[in-house]
Every structure is written in structure tokens, then in C-alpha cells.
Amino acid sequence: MTPLFLLHNPIEGIGSFYGGVLHPLVVPEQALLLVATAACLSQQGLEQLRRALPPALVALVAAIFLQPRLGWMPPQSLVLILGMLIGLGVAARLRLPAAVSVALGLLCGLAVGLGTDVDTIPAGEELLFQSGAGIGAGFALLCLAVWLETAKRPWQQIVVRVLGSWTAAAALINLSWQLVQG
């Protein structure tokens, strides 16, 4: 496992805000879930994307700021299972009802937000870190989903499906690793 201090301060001297921005990218299970969710929502078309993204972003930001009060983080295996299932859906190019897309967006936002803890952040800089984490994860989800939605050509849609199979595969191997490690 990556030491916590590297997750929260991946580049020496970068500061709490930018450390927060980079946080979802240096926590692989969060990056994987964000990519899988963005790809899945993008496959559902612009209309569903418009419905699913705002609640996802609100859930993300709310969960980030509520995390220290709740003191609960979703287990890594739960985030990986979610990422694996969504990745399989992307590989199979599942068409989802609008309500399911909204629920997926919410789940992703909550999982990433609640997984962003501030335990090792210097006192007084928690808000900076949380703001950075919200902006980093939010922009990653938003930009990736909108960008992938523009993938209309057949070969581009294949690339999105391949992306789904990669995320599912990586999550599955890691889940087995966790199972073995206990």
C-alpha cells in the first residue's frame, strides 16, 4: 500500500490545496472508479449525462466535507467492486435507465468523497485540501465524461469499451490481492 503521506502530499512542497487536487489521481481505486463512472455515463448519451453529473458532483463535494464528521471511509474493496462492475458495464456497453445512471453518479461521488480523509493534513489546512480534492475529482469526472461522450465514431466507442475492460481487469486482480493479503 502507498504510505498516506504520499497520497496527501504526492509532490514535496506542493501544498495542501494542490495535494488535494492530485489526491484522486494518486489513489488508484478512486482514479479507477472515476474513469469507469465517467466512461459509463458517457455511453448513456448527453441527456442522461446532464441528469447524472450534477447530483454526482454535489454528492462528491458534500461527502468530502462530511467525511471528517462521519469518520467513516468506504473499504477499498467496496470501491474496487463498484469500479469493476461499472467497468464490466462499460465493456458490455450496457444501456442503463436514467435513474440507474443518476444512482451510479451518486455512488461514485459518495465513494470518492468519503474516501478523502484529512487525517495527515496539517492543522488548519484541511479546508484547503478538501477544496482541492473536490475540484480535482469533480473536474476529472466532468471533463472525462463530457470528453468521452463526444466519442461517436465506431473506433472511438471501441476505445471506451476497451477502457472499461481495463478498469474491470485491474480491479479484479487487486481484489484478489486484497483477499489473499487478508
Partner 1 sequence: MLLPPLLHDGAGVAGGFSSGLLHPLTGPDHLAAMVAVGLWGAFLGAPAIWLLPVIFPLVMAVGGALGVAGVAVPGVETGIALSAVALGAMVAAAAKPPLPFAAILVALFAIFHGHAHGTELPESADALSYSLGFVISTGLLHLAGIGLGFAVEKPAGRTFVRACGAVICLAGLGFLFGVL
Which residues are near partner 1 by CB under 8 A?
A: 1-3, 6-7, 10-12, 26, 28-29, 32, 80, 88, 91, 154, 158, 161-162, 164-166, 168-180
Q: Which is nearer to partner 1, 41 or 80 (CB)?
A: 80
CB 82 to partner 1: min, Å: 14
CB 94 to partner 1: min, Å: 13
The span from the CA of 2 to the CA of 21, in Å, is 18
The span from the CA of 55 to the CA of 108, in Å, is 10
Q: Which is nearer to partner 1, 12 or 123 (CB)?
A: 12
82: phi then psi, degrees, rounded to nearest 5: -60, -45
CB 127 to partner 1: min, Å: 25
Q: Which is nearer to partner 1, 13 or 71 (CB)?
A: 13
